[in-house]
Amino acid sequence: MKQNEISLNSLLVDDNTIRFTDEELGDMHISTSVDTPMREDAFDMSDEEKMAQIEYHFKQIMETLGLDLTDDSLKGTPKRVAKMYIKEIFSGLNPANMPKIALFDNKYQYNEMLVEKDITFYSNCEHHFVPIIGKAQVAYIANGKVVGLSKLNRLVQHFAKRPQVQERLTMQIAKELQKVLGTEDVAVMIDAKHLCVSSRGVQDDSSSTITSFYGGKFKEEATRAEFLRYIH
């Protein structure tokens, strides 16, 4: 391990290893991989089976909190939460839900930068399962093929609908777009507010987090500056 490199539960600083508890590691918002950590049997159960399991366990959580599930307002909550988890806010975990992205020949020979600005997304922090709310800026330079504009939005939404870390979300969007388009010339910037920062812990409601990815020509200063001008 190199100096100042972070491992799963430790940080090496000047040859001294500092170890963290799981809770401390979560508060540091550290990601362990570019890929979302998934078990091999993640999709052995059907969506309906998963919803039944989540409904049962969320009911136990609510009862542990002392809530009265016979109340008309609460009795349907476990089922609603289960459906929301599988069909909506965590639907991006299932690769079957990856948006189909059709490529089109760049017949009009547009070889300049294309930027899709201010793509609003809602995700959830994988450390506390509370919302991340932000905007993504996505750009690419065509390499013979182009995609429909709405597909850029759908790609952002797909990867956002997972328990996430912002750095990973940024990388996943960029890497998938590079693969689909067959070009390294992709840039992604995300500016997001983390409710695990604003509603708990340090309770800072004014800060936001910015992450970025620059590939291919976007690593060049002039191209990056052009991208930054467009989004600001």
Whether 196 sits among the annotated catalytic residues: the reply is yes
Whether 112 sits among the annotated catalytic residues: the reply is no
Catalytic residue, candidates 128, 158, 172, 178: 128
Catalytic residue, candidates 55, 116, 127, 158: 127
Q: Tell which residue, 139, 140, 127, 119, has the closest CA to residue 192.
A: 119
Cβ contact 113:139 at 8 Å: yes
How long, in residues, is the chain? Answer: 232
Cβ-Cβ contacts under 8 Å for 100 (sequence gap 6 or more):
none
Catalytic residue, candidates 55, 116, 125, 137: 125
**DSSP string for 101-129:** --EEE-TT---SEEEEEEEEEEEEETTT-
Whether 3 sits among the annotated catalytic residues: the reply is no
Whether 184 sits among the annotated catalytic residues: the reply is no
Whether 126 sits among the annotated catalytic residues: the reply is yes
Residue type, 5: E
**DSSP code of residue 6:** B
Catalytic residue, candidates 164, 166, 172, 178: 166
Whether 172 sits among the annotated catalytic residues: the reply is no
Catalytic residue, candidates 55, 164, 178, 196: 196
Whether 194 sits among the annotated catalytic residues: the reply is yes
* Tokens matching residue 31: 């990601």
Question: Known catalytic residues?
Answer: 125-128, 166, 194, 196
